[in-house]
Amino acid sequence: MAPRHRAWAEINLAAFRTNLREAAAVAKQAKVWPVLKANAYGHGAIAAAKICEAEGINRIGVGDSREALELRESGIRTPLLVLGTVIDSELPDMLTHQIEVGVHSELRARELNNLASKTRKVLGVHLKIDTGMARLGVRPEAALRVAQTIHEAPYLELRGVMTHFSAISGGKTAAGQQALFTSTLHEIQNSGIVIPSVHCASSAALYAKSGVIGNAVRPGISLFGILPREHSKPPNLQAVLSLRAQVVFLKDLPSGTPVGYGGRWVSHRPTRIATLPIGYNDGIPYRLGAEGRGNVLLRGCRCPIVGAISMDYCTVDVGHVPGVALSDVATLIGRDGKESICAEEVAEAAGTIAYEVTCSIGARVRRVFCEENQPHILNPIKKTVT
Ligand SMILES: *Cc1c(COP(=O)(O)O)cnc(C)c1O
């Protein structure tokens, strides 16, 4: 039977659960607060949040207010924290739905308190300290003053103090940021302010272990079985996502035929080209089309992507694979037989990071949730070969 979708991402929920439990084991006494921003790095935030809730997670991090509202609307009751900053127009919704936000300045703390006082609702906030990322957060020398402002504001409740590291792996920057965070924390605590939650570790810091300071950690990418490039992957982490598309067209070409926009690839032997209904709008990096950098798996064989990636399609040279048929399942990320292509490999080939590869998977690509990888659905041998 032909696959139901043109292109789809299989999301292995069992693997996500495994990675979540692994994070909890590594974090020891610290709570795991999964970061599900960017639609859970392209994997589907609602499904991921439901698993988190079932696993007893007590806070989830999101990127902006709309992501938080989407989870609330889908029935997620777990406390939510907008990790970055919110803009003025987003604040009323944060109050109505009791979504926690990061505070990055004294001005923002005062504005939030004013607004909250009008609705007579207390807003939970986390003070973010900039220890070296220089993106968001109050400078360490101003942190105590802002913490006091929050502490004294009747409609704000200081739920946590946080920072975000710009580098991990034992380098100077990391050690410096950790030291700065710890000393700033002590300054706030010594003033008598109680900080319920202290959190700083993303995936890299969690698995580097030395980076865990405080009583909560904020892993994102590792929950999807990926670690940032310079870190070696712990063996227990499992890739969650497989990206697949079905062959919608096959054609035999004589040698010397240009393929795709600009005719930048020309067949150098008689061959067969399979067209897949997935392109750069669906998250296949355009750069994979140049110079045949990308590969897909068909019938367990690596096949080079040839010609430019288009918005909706890409073309693959399958001349060396016997029996490829219409509606065969091609794997762009994931396993097919003995071969596999991971998001890290795609990132490397496209000159980007694995985060961008999974986040970029477009809305048109169906997310198909399953409890295990489904290699058995791949390409039964057909009697009639097109
Ligand atoms: C994205 C993010 C995280 C998670 O980072 P990973 O590298 O994906 O683990 C943690 N904290 C903050 C503030 C973030 O923005």
The answer to whether residues 154 and 262 belong to one domain is no
378 inside domain: no
> What is the predicted pLDDT for the residue at 376?
47
Is the minimum distance from the CB of 219 to ligand 1 under 6 angstroms?
Answer: yes
CB of residue 221 inside a 6 A radius of ligand 1: yes
* 166 alpha carbon – ligand 1 mean position (Å): 10
Rounded to whole angstroms, the Cα distance separating 244 from 330 reads 6
CA of 163 to the centre of ligand 1 (A): 10
Ligand 1: distance of its center to the CA of 61 in Å?
9
Q: How far is CA 23 from CA 50, 142, 297, 369, in A?
A: 17, 33, 31, 21
In a domain, 316, yes or no: yes
DSSP class of residue 35 equals B
Say if residue 181 is in the same domain as residue 73.
yes
Q: For atom 10 of ligand 1, which residue has the closest CA?
A: 202
> Is the domain of 42 the same as that of 181?
yes
From CA 129, how far away is CA 184, in angstroms rounded? 8
In a domain, 19, yes or no: yes
pLDDT at 384: 47
Q: pLDDT tens, 274-317?
A: 999 999 999 999 999 877 799 999 999 999 999 999 999 999 99
Tokens matching residue 290: 């140049």
Do both 45 and 93 map to the same domain? yes
- Give, for ligand 1, the residue of 35, 127, 229, 233 to mutate: max count of ligand atoms closer than 8 Å to Cβ: 35
Q: Which residues of the chain have pLDDT under 70?
A: 168-173, 373-386
CA of 34 to the centre of ligand 1 (A): 9
**Is residue 61 included in any domain, yes or no?**
yes
**199 and 306 fall within a common domain:** no
Exposure on the CB side of residue 52, measured as CA atoms within 13 A? 31
Specify the pLDDT at position 39: 98
Q: Give residue-wise pLDDT tens across range 339-371.
A: 999 999 999 999 999 999 999 999 999 999 999
- CATH assignment at residue 279: 2.40.37.10
Of 182, 199, 224, which residue constitutes the final position of a domain? 224
pLDDT score, position 249? 98
Residues 268 and 333 both lie in one domain: yes
Residues 146 and 277 in one domain: no
Tell which one of 22, 26, 33, 83 to mutate to probe ligand 1, the residue whose CB is within 8 A of the most ligand atoms.
83
Identify whether residues 180 and 141 lie together within a single domain. Answer: yes
386 lies in a domain?
Answer: no
What's the pLDDT score for residue 386?
A: 44
Is residue 319 one of the residues assigned to a domain?
yes
Q: Is the distance from the beta carbon of residue 32 to the nearest atom of ligand 1 less than 6 Å?
A: no
pLDDT at 232: 77
The residue whose CA has the least distance to atom 14 of ligand 1 is 83
For residue 10, the model assigns a pLDDT of 97
Q: For 16, list phi and psi in degrees, rounded to 5.
A: -60, -45
pLDDT the model gives residue 341: 97
Same domain, yes or no: 343 and 196: no
Q: Which structure tokens are listed for 284?
A: 């296949």
Catalytic residues: 37, 261
Same domain, 186 and 275: no
**Residue whose CA lies nearest to ligand 1 atom number 4:** 220
Domain that holds residue 145: 14-224
Angstrom distance (rounded) from CA 331 to CA 301: 10
Q: What is the pLDDT of residue 375?
A: 52
Residue 383 lies in a domain: no
The number of domains in the chain is 2
The CATH number of whichever domain residue 129 belongs to comes to 3.20.20.10
Give the nearest ligand 1 atom to 83 CA: 13
For residue 202 and ligand 1, the question of a CB distance below 6 A is answered with yes
Give the Å distance between the CA of 36 and the centre of ligand 1. Answer: 9
The answer to whether 163 and 176 are in contact (CB under 8 A) is no
In a domain, 151, yes or no: yes
- Please check whether residues 219 and 275 belong to one and the same domain: no
Tens digits of residue pLDDT in 20-39: 999 999 999 999 999 999 99
Residues 105, 43: one domain?
yes
